[in-house]
Amino acid sequence: MLTDGRYAIVAVQQNHIEAIRCWRNAQMDVLRQSHEITAEQQQNYFASTIWSELESTQPRNILLTFLKDDQPIGYGGLVHIAWEHSRAEISFLLDPAYLQPEQEYRELFLIFLGLMRRLAFEDLNLNRLYTETYSMRFHHIAVLEAFGFAREGTLKEHVYIQGHPIDSIMHGLLKA
């Protein structure tokens, strides 16, 4: 567990995964998810992909529940970890109840990013973090850049959302 005042990140627990499933299904337009996830699919994913690697010293993904006053308000973590290249992608999703106002989202996302930076650079000794964000997420991109992520490129018309081509924006943050 890592903490920052009232906020903490902990390994995703069994009692968190249904809320996470609902949050994901409610926000598919900002995720690499094209179909709703069933409760059974969610259970199988965590059992076979996440929890099966808990004892590994080099898991491919580290998913965490983001807590406020010990209550889950979001989740994310380090995914697609490439230990041999000392890098990981940051994943982040809040409970839709915390998406507005934008200032609250900004504050929560900045706290989460601070916890991820500590985990990645201090605890795991990674060198690089990166993100891929759909270009219509202006506020999300602004928070990444305010935190210090550098815009590294654009994948033109990389995905289709509601029938429209959307760019993906790549950001990176180095330990140094």
Which domains, from first to last, does the chain contain? Answer: 2-127 (3.40.630.30)
Q: pLDDT category, 42, cuts 50, 70, 90? A: very high
92-98, long-range: CB < 8 A, 24+ apart:
92/66, 92/116, 93/20, 93/23, 93/24, 93/27, 93/30, 93/31, 94/23, 94/66, 95/19, 95/23, 96/23, 96/26, 96/27, 97/73, 98/73, 98/74
| 148-172 mean pLDDT | 96
Q: Which pLDDT score is estimated for 104? A: 93
pLDDT at residue 31 in the model: 84
Residue 28: per-residue pLDDT: 82
Q: What is the pLDDT of residue 122?
A: 97
Task: Give the pLDDT score at 32.
Answer: 82
Give the pLDDT confidence score for residue 34 in this predicted structure.
82
pLDDT at 89: 98
Task: Report percent pLDDT > 70 for the chain.
Answer: 100
Q: What is the mean pLDDT of residues 138-148?
A: 96
Q: What is the mean pLDDT of residues 14-32?
A: 92
Bigger pLDDT: 33 or 68? 68
Least confident of 22-31, 126-135, 143-152, 163-172: 22-31
| pTM score | 0.93
Q: What is the DSSP letter of 57?
A: S
Average pLDDT of the residues in 156-160: 95
Say if residues 19 and 72 touch (Cβ distance below 8 Å): yes
pLDDT value of position 84: 98
> Please, which pLDDT band fits residue 103 given cuts at 50, 70 and 90?
very high
Is the per-residue pLDDT at 67 higher than 90? yes
